[in-house]
Amino acid sequence: MGYLERIDSYKDEMLKALAESVAAPSVKSDPVKTKDGELLPFGAGVHEALLQMLAKGKELGFDIYNDDNYAGHIEWKSENGGDDYFGIVGHLDVVPVGSGWATDPFEMVDKGDGFVYGRGTSDDKGPVVASLYALKALREEGFKPKMNIRVVLGLDEESGDISAEHYTEHCGHPALGFTPDADFPLVNGEMGILVFDLARKFSVKPGKDDLRLSKLEGGTAHNAVPAYAKAVIAGSKDQYDLIADRANLFCEETGYKLKTKKQGSSLVIEAFGTAAHGAHPDLGLNAVSILMAFLGNISFTNEELNDFIAFYNDNIGFDLHGERMGCFFEDGPSGPLIFNVGVAIINEDIATVSVNIRYPVSCTDDHVLKGIESVLEGTPVGIVTRMVQKPLYKDLDDPMVIEYMKAYIDETGDSEAQPMTIGGGTYAKMFNNILAFGAQFPEDENTMHQADEKFSIESFMKMTRVYARAIAALCCE
């Protein structure tokens, strides 16, 4: 039996391992301490996922390492010694659940349609499990690693870089490797990422009898298209009836979905869009933008609020490329800049909109910020930068690009698909000498960050074989 056949024999075991990982509710939360004083920097759910995966690695006969609960790895040690390692860098944290699930997000469900459902199945627990079992197959077939091979377990990839920084500080960067957290055949370029808040403080406080926006909330993460947004309005019954009528007309004219309902002495307006990854806002529909477009038809007593809503609708609206925010850039490898409003919070004191931008590899964050600042000039809207990740790009003749493409083509027979530049940010930007290699195949539906996230069982097995081919070629004898 060869290593590829061994992988096929692991199918049931791999699905069980994935179900165990999905069961850990690994949405990042505030740090907590145990009764023994042990710090869990990303919360109990993420810690549970780390311990579960390390236990699985130990069960399979590999060495394991817990990096102070900030990260960890599962290691196949080389007899050659040395500190160099081949890194397969994945993550166990997942984005918030959101709404619209047909099943429990943290109970993996096989509906018999060729997919398994659950938060993290495709992003990134499934690919982590696939990588681990690729190592198992190679080891059981007698391969010997030329250098140490590690499955590195990141814990806050979806929302930050603390885990990666802590791990690389203590354990160093890989000599080469990949992250199984994007697309096949290969990602040889990643657009830069810029996260910032647009904010305006309100100096005028509305009176008790004024028509006012008590609060607006939409979205759960800057790197996801919000599927739901809600506004709570205070006013009179006559005003509520008029707003409800306008909402019905707005829906008829636009095709967007709004609901209005009385709640105590307030009127609640709900907007419904479609969730998607912030790197692919074209696959979603932004509920915040729907709600802001409607609120632009209402004249609140607070003119500062009206001005902010107008600013949003005039300069952002449903734009996906920063066309009206002064930051539309594009190049050949990347295509156009990607602009996503992920979170909006408005109350009677301040309005804040969190934006996630993916900018072309030939561009810089300074270019983007200067363009935005030119639009903000002369307005009371300010900008606060939250995160910057520089772009990454490897030429097609780079040795890693060549070897990863060969492994993909040898397994799939697909010689048409070409390396790509993506808007998604992966661990390739945080760990030196790696590229994003899979795990989504060209024919797969992208449900990452969405309700009813699912993972193709056929692709699960196929990616494991691709990874085993690549690892065998690059660092085994």
Catalytic residues: 93, 157
Q: What are phi and psi of 154, to 5 degrees?
A: -80, 155
In whole angstroms, how far apart are CA 22 and each of 75, 214, 341, 453? 22, 38, 28, 11
381 SS3 class = coil
Q: Strands (DSSP E) along 223-281, which ranges?
A: 224-225, 228-234, 257-263, 266-272, 276-277
Question: Which residue has 């004249």 as its token pair?
Answer: 299
Query: What is the C-alpha to C-alpha distance for residues 432 and 134, in angstroms, rounded to an integer?
Result: 22
Query: What is the C-alpha to C-alpha distance for residues 250 and 191, in angstroms, rounded to an integer?
Result: 36
Of 141, 158, 127, 147, nearest to 53 by C-alpha is 127
What is the secondary structure of 45-94 as a DSSP string?
A: HHHHHHHHHHHHHHHTT-EEEE-TTS-EEEEE--TT--S-EEEEEEE--B
Please say whether the beta carbons of 108 and 18 come within 8 A. yes
In whole angstroms, how far apart are CA 72 and each of 23, 157, 453, 468? 19, 13, 25, 21
* Cα dihedral across residues 300, 302, 303, 304: positive or negative: negative
Of 471, 470, 468, nearest to 137 by C-alpha is 468
Of 78, 86, 207, 168, nearest to 477 by C-alpha is 78
Of 220, 352, 384, nearest to 286 by C-alpha is 220
Query: What is the C-alpha to C-alpha distance for residues 194 and 286, in angstroms, rounded to an integer?
Result: 19
Please give the structure tokens belonging to residue 163.
């885990």
Please say whether the beta carbons of 327 and 337 come within 8 A. yes
Task: Determine the length of the chain.
Answer: 477
- Residue 452 has, within 13 A of its CA and on its CB side, a CA count of 9
In whole angstroms, how far apart are CA 212 and each of 166, 245, 250, 270, 344? 46, 18, 20, 16, 17
Query: What are the residue ranges of helices labelled H in 113-174?
Result: 126-140, 162-171
Q: What are phi and psi of 39, to 5 degrees?
A: -85, 130
